[in-house]
Amino acid sequence: MKLSLDKLIRLWRTSYEIFLNKTCQEIKSTKKQSQLLSFCFALPDTFFTDDFSPLFTDFPEVFYFSANKEEFLAVGNIHSLSVEGSFRWKELEKRYTDFPEPLMNSSEPIFISSPLFLAAIKFDPEKKSVEWSNFKNCEFYIPKFLIKLEADSALFRFNVLFDDTFSIENSVLEFSTLLSTIFQNDGNNKIDEKINYKGNVNSFDERELWNLIVEKALSEIRNSSLTKVVLARRILLRTQELVHYEVLPGRLKKANPSSNIFCLKQNDSVFIGASPEILIELKNNNIITEAIAGSCVRGSTTDEDFHLENELRNSEKEINEHRSVVDFITENLTGSASDITYEKVPNVKKLASIQHLSTEITAKLKTGSSLFSLLDKISPTPAVCGSPKEKALELISELEDFDRGLYAGLIGWVSPSSAKLVVAIRSALINKNTIFVYAGCGIVEGSNPESEFAETETKLKTILSTFNEKN
């Protein structure tokens, strides 16, 4: 016999109170100053939903993520590990390592492996700008609660910090009130409308500027050790009304089923995208990463699409660009990983408006190595930066007249036994009625400014078509 929602909430409340009484007594006996507590439980089958939009409007900090058959929405920020500067990975690793693992009410693998820290890392460790001021440079943070959906399960994770100010009574009240707010929301505020915007309102001739910076990049490639640099465009859109961003994750997921969908809200700013590229997926020391570089548009018919795919597979320029990313990742994995394996011939990953050469790479994390040392070595890859990395970063900073912020940075999550971080491309920053949309492409010897501009136009469609198919 299935319990009603009210009875389930009362049951969860009672279980949570028992957990707190037992756990807090144990913590007091150890005289620890603070401790993270995580209370997890399985959700009923009836909870499965494609609409998280009501939660976006109810809370100032929201993180949505969807990849393959995994989906979660997290709310709040109760503890943050935030660092800046060029040595951010080493400092972040120290703070993460020093942070005690949470005390949980269950040792079930589904709970242990659920996201603990959410991650948002900007592309450039040094740059700061007004439009990105709501986001920290490099942050891992613990949400107040997380709802995770998988193919055959759903769970709820509630996090609290026990310290000198902690009250069991207040925490139980907060917990039960929150459950009632979340699960009794009827969803009637769902909005399904197009987002009408004025076209690119940049005040300069964008094609002229693009041609200029590409020619400068090609000159640098011909006269230095630089072999590739990834240059990006940022277009600026205006809307007459505030953007109803809460509908966008669902639209992106529907239109881009092969991509990793993310939406991070911080106060008045929302960063959203549909990335085709996983930088690192870690499960019990098993590593999966992928090289995605080399692309062409989709065909309007099956025959045309197949023809374009064959051209992509046989393009010396695209193959060389792809191989440079594969070589960079495998070479930089060597010190921290073993059993590095990948197919010598790349696959073709087909997305809504573009197709890419793609190579999945697997490896095993060596004893004594860490996720952070891997990230320090392989991020950013030549797919979003260039080669050699340091020289490409310098040229990007010199030629691009805007702050990439989280674009081409990393978005994802980390837990003690697993992690998933994607490269934050095919993305946009939304702030009230202003939208910044980003797209980039690799410049190598033989690149043509007009062709590369057309490639960025294709990549911009991922976001623009989500706003309004007519625009």
Over residues 206-253, the pLDDT tens digits come to 899 999 999 999 999 999 999 999 999 999 998 887 788 888 898 899
pLDDT at 134: 95
| pLDDT at 189 exceeding the cut of 60 | no
| Average per-residue pLDDT for the chain | 90
Over residues 227-237, the pLDDT tens digits come to 999 999 999 99
| pLDDT at 470 exceeding the cut of 60 | no
What mean pLDDT comes out for the span 389-417?
96
| pLDDT at 1 exceeding the cut of 50 | no
Question: Taking the model in full, what pTM does it have?
Answer: 0.93
Over residues 352-375, the pLDDT tens digits come to 899 999 999 999 999 999 999 999
* 271 in Cβ contact with 263 (< 8 Å): yes
Collect all residues with Cβ–Cβ distance below 8 Å to 340 and sequence separation of at least 6: 330, 333, 334, 361, 362, 363
Over residues 298-312, the pLDDT tens digits come to 999 999 999 999 999
- Percent of the residues in the chain that have a pLDDT greater than 90, as a whole number: 73
Over residues 237-293, the pLDDT tens digits come to 988 877 888 888 988 999 999 999 999 999 989 999 999 999 999 998 999 999 999
Collect all residues with Cβ–Cβ distance below 8 Å to 219 and sequence separation of at least 6: none
- Residue ranges per domain, the chain? 5-183, 202-467
Collect all residues with Cβ–Cβ distance below 8 Å to 148 and sequence separation of at least 6: 70, 71, 72, 114, 115, 154, 155, 156, 157
**CATH architecture observed for domain 202-467:** 4-Layer Sandwich (3.60)
pLDDT at 471: 40
| pLDDT at 16 exceeding the cut of 60 | yes
